[in-house]
Structures are given as C-alpha cells and as structure tokens.
Amino acid sequence: MLGILRQKVGAGSSSAMILGQRICPAASGLRGFASSAKEMTVRDALNSALDEEMSADPKVFLMGEEVGEYQGAYKITKGLLDKYGPDRVLDTPITEAGFTGIGVGAAYYGLRPVIEFMTFNFSMQAIDHIINSAAKSNYMSAGQINVPIVFRGPNGAAAGVGAQHSQCYAAWYAACPGLKVLTPYSSEDARGLLKAAIRDPDPVVFLENELLYGESFPVSAEVLDSSFCLPIGKAKIEREGKDVTITAFSKMVGYSLQAAEILAKEGISAEVINLRSIRPLDRKTINDSVRKTNRLVTVEEGFPQHGVGAEICASVVEDSFGYLDAPVERISGADVPMPYAANLERLAVPQVEDIVRAAKRACYKSSSLAASA
C-alpha cells in the first residue's frame, strides 16, 4: 500500500492523473434508483455518495480496514472495490496510525482520501495525524497547504460493545480549530453532508452512528440527484414549534422527534433542530429558535462535562439570555464509562422520556409521562 502511494506521488504527474493511471473505468455518477423510490437506508445513502464522488473525481480514494475485499465492516463500501479497483479502495493492516498518516500525506499532494475507522474509538490511535498534521497544516503553512481529507466511521454508543467502543467524539474533535465536524442523522444528511465533506478543501471528521445504518428515511428526487450537496455549518429545523427548542444530532434527533410527538399530546409545541454540523456550529439558527420559544433543551449521547450541549448553552446565554423564560436544560450520557450490561447501558444513554421530562421542566409543566405509556 505504501509503495503504491509512493509510486503515485513520485511520478511527477498532475494530481488528477496520479490515480488515473491504474483505476478501473468509472461509470456514470447517477445511480439507477427507480423514479418511484421514496425511501433509502443511511447505509445506501453513504454508499451512493462515495460512489458518485469517486466517479466524478479520480483523486478520491478510500482507505481503511476491510473496506475492500470484505466490502466494509458495515457494508458502506459495498461494490466499490469491484468498480474502482484496488488502487482506489485500499485494504489496510490494523494500524490506524499508519494508514491515517499515509492518507494525510496523500492529501498534502492534492489527493482526496476518505479514511474509514471501524469505530471512532480507534481514531485515538491516529489522533496525532488528525489534530497535529491534518487540522493545523493550513494555518501553519500560511494557507499554502490544503488538506482535503475525510475521516469517517461509526461514533458513539451501539449496543453491548462496552466502554472502549461506545464513546462519542463530537466534542473532542469539535474543540480543535482547523477541523470540520459533521454528524448526519437521516439519509438526506448522509448523502448531502458526505458529498460536501469529500469536496471540501479542509479536513472533515464525519461522525456516523452504527444503529442508524439500517434505518430508512424518505428521500426526494433532489436528494437522489448526483449534484445534491448540503452546506456545511447549517442546521435543519426538523419540526417547528413555539414552546421549547430541542437541539440534537445523530441518533438523538430521532429521539427528540419522538419526544416532540409525546409533548404535543400534552399541549407543548417543541421545535426540534438537527444540528448536522458541530463545527462550524449554526449558532444563528439555534439562537433564532430560542428567541421564539424562550426555552432550550440540548440533547447528546456524549459525556456532560465540556460537551456539545455545554457549548450551545453558553452561546444562548451569551447571545439570547434576555429571551430565556426558564433555565436551560442539558440531556447527555451519564458521566461514567459505558457499562456493558444492557440494563445499565440503557441508563447511561439518554432516552425519549428524559427529553420529555426536561422539556416539561423548561415549560413548568408536570413531569408525568402518562402520554408515553
């Protein structure tokens, strides 16, 4: 693998031709979805985005453990090795530090690597390359070096995988200048944000959720178009409301929407914001919503201390304090390593009823959960 990249980088040809010498012919960027298709899984959305971007740009290539022959640990890269060949879909040894460093070096030379971590917990082995090499090089070179690389894979809690495979890294990476951090929820998010990440000139940390891969979401013809792309740094209001603002990202968006349904039955109109982007954070959409509802509940799976919710609360207190009619509420994972036992694991991550209770507290309503029974 290292020899292949060394040959390509040392060839002296243009970036577009470095990979073009040895790749399989690319098919059209448009996939053959039937015009009547109305739903798509997150897994297929990610796969189609990778396929279309690899087809459109020969500088895009994939690298990671089991991304090729095994077609991805979660089948996100299914079919791509057969289509684009082993020079653009590279299986690696179990050495995150090694293949991440190679990817960053390839990005220095104008290629567009997409690095897959089997779980973002394993990105700790490569964090020096992500933070010190990828994130800081543009600034330290006075803008002379761009690092167009995507680090993607499942993030946060799955089910029964213990403390070392369940951590959310949104707050970790969002604390670092030079990185962009994206957190898709739906199939629309997955397609549009991954395409934006691959096209971006800067390093992007793309935090997926393993439990969402098999979930299906409605998609429009616009979303299925190969030119579809979502803006980085822009949140989406998934449900409009007037009584309380609920911010969430990734899997917690679904929980928040379920909570909003329960709250509606009790006369509370909740506005649910899908953050989509953690860095940059869409502070305007959040603050505009709080100035309308006068209440805020933040929801995340990560640890409470120094979390994404803490940053959102600080932003609202700084910019919209005079509009608040109640203390802000933070819902997060428990401040403990993830338990392995299923009953304790459920207690350690936010549940729909936790969001309902917090919204009711913010609205000074009874905390009865009769409507959710």
The domain spanning residue 116 has which CATH number? 3.40.50.970
The answer as to whether 19 is a domain residue is no
- Asked whether 324 and 290 are in contact (CB, 8 A), the reply is yes
Look at residue 297 and tell me if it is in a domain.
yes
Residue 159 pLDDT: 87
Task: Give me the pLDDT at residue 37, please.
Answer: 53
Residue 122 resides in a domain: yes
| Domain contains 255 | yes
Number of independent structural domains in the chain: 2
pTM > 0.85: yes or no: yes
Question: Cβ distance 248 to 308 under 8 Å?
Answer: no
CA distance 134 to 303: 25
Cβ contact 276:292 at 8 Å: no
Position 367 scores a pLDDT of 58
pLDDT tens sequence across 352-364: 999 999 999 999 9
Domain limit, last residue, from 193, 224, 255: 224
User: 357 phi and psi, to 5 degrees?
Assistant: -60, -45
Cis peptide before 231 (omega within 30 of 0): no
**244 and 218 in one domain?**
no
In eight-state DSSP terms, residue 67 is S
Q: Considering the domain boundaries, does residue 28 fall inside one?
A: no
Q: Are 138 and 176 in contact (CB under 8 A)?
A: no
Q: What is the CATH number of the domain that holds 353?
A: 3.40.50.920
The phi and psi torsions of 144 (rounded to 5 degrees) equal -80, -25
- The pLDDT score that the predictor gives to residue 365 is 85
* Entry field: residues in the chain: 373
Of 224, 249, 269, which one is at a domain's C-terminal end? 224
Copy the structure tokens of residue 50. 């990778």
Q: Is the same domain home to 147 and 268?
A: no
Query: Which parts of 89-168 are beta strand (E)?
Result: 89-91, 112-116, 150-154
- Rounded Cα gap, residues 153 and 117, in angstroms: 5
How far is 344 from 156, CA to CA, in rounded Å?
16
Distance CA 224, CA 208 (A): 20
Residues assigned a catalytic role: 96, 165
Which residues make Cβ contacts (< 8 Å) with residue 264, sequence separation at least 6?
A: 270
Q: Give the span between the Cα atoms of 371 and 227, in whole angstroms.
A: 43
45 φ/ψ sector (left φ>0, alpha ψ -120 to 50, else beta): alpha
Q: Which ranges of the chain have pLDDT less than 50?
A: 1-36, 369-373
